[in-house]
Structure 1
Amino acid sequence: MAKIKARDLRGKNKEELLKQLEDLKVELSQLHVAKVTGGVASKLSKIRVVRKSIARELTVINQTQKENLRKFYKGKKYKPWICGPREHERLYPLRQYAVRA
């Protein structure tokens, strides 16, 4: 399977993404079996590509879920913590002056 681009994944709905994710996981397990049984180098090099593709799929799924949650809770009085600012932004606000070392 060729390298998957995140921008192509963003146009798909959740069911398509989950189906493609399952296919990638099956392919990864087959590649691991080929690695154990002494497969050719071309199959072994595909393991990294498939792992990165799985990570991209999961990232897109999680980002769309968070985006939909933020849209749903926009303008509401009470929001879940996941809709608020990131922890790093809260702990380290933008400095108004330079820090000297």
Structure 2
Amino acid sequence: MAHVTCCQIREKSSNELENILNNLHEELNTLKIQRQNFNKIENIRKSISHVHIVQNQTTKDNLREFYHDKKYKPKDLRPKQTRAMRRLLTPKEESISLTKTQKKKLAFPKRTYSVKD
């Protein structure tokens, strides 16, 4: 089997990817037994890794679609950010203020001054 790239196999179904992967593994085993043509072995290993990459990406995409509208998501699908950024308040939570502070703002509004020339 020829060298496989990710863009060549991206649209294939999971069954086709499994067949490609099995064929590549068989070919790799035969080349290892023959102990020759190490460049071809390297290319087949890369092809196997490309197939694994495409499989993992498609499963991750399917999971993203499944959890798109859900309230809770798995940790690997949540936005990464930093720990401090994840713990910040949401804009709605920031805008909420206690009634005591609202009354204080009404009683003592911020003063504006103008300078005469």
The higher-RCO structure (CA 8 Å, 6+ apart) is 1
- What TM-score does the superposition give when structure 2 sets the normalisation length? 0.66
- Alignment length, in residue pairs? 85
Alignment of structure 1 residues 1-101 onto 2, 5 Å: 1-35=1-35, 39=36, 43-86=37-80, 89-90=81-82
Residues 68 and 30 (structure 1), Cα distance of their counterparts in 2 relative to 1, 3 Å cut: same
Cα distance in structure 2, aligned partners of 1:61 and 1:90: 28
Where do 5+ consecutive residues of structure 2 fail to align?
86-117
Q: Percent identity?
A: 39
CA deviations 1:15-70 (Å, max 9, x no partner) are 000111011011101111011xxx3xxx3220000000000000000000000000
Over 4 Å off, 4+ runs = none
The structure with the larger Rg is 2
Residues 91 and 33 (structure 1), Cα distance of their counterparts in 2 relative to 1, 3 Å cut: farther
